[in-house]
């Protein structure tokens, strides 16, 4: 649930951020999401794809292997 709020808080509306095809000549915005819960990786990737389609903002979801120490990321 927290990740959904993070994505919604960073995007803006499609009108303001443009769409993937409407960003010609502009920098494409990207959100990099570090997922600490491997069991929800599939759902986060699906959410990221839907968010990107709706807003034009690229979302990269990275899920490290289990047991990764996030204090050093």
What pLDDT score does 36 carry?
A: 86
pLDDT per position as a tens digit, 14-54: 444 444 555 555 677 999 999 988 899 999 999 999 999 99
Number of domains present in the structure of the chain:
1
Which domain, by its residues, includes 57? 2-72
Q: Give the total residue count for the chain.
A: 73
65 vs 72, residue with greater confidence: 65
pTM for this predicted structure: 0.55
């Amino acid at each position: 649930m927290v990740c959904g709020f993070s994505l919604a808080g960073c995007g803006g509306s499609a009108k303001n951020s443009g769409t993937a095809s409407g960003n010609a000549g502009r920098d494409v915005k990207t959100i990099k999401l570090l997922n600490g819960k491997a069991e929800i990786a599939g759902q986060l990737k699906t959410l990221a794809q839907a968010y990107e389609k709706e807003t034009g903002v690229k979302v990269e979801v990275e899920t490290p292997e289990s047991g990764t120490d996030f204090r050093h990321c």
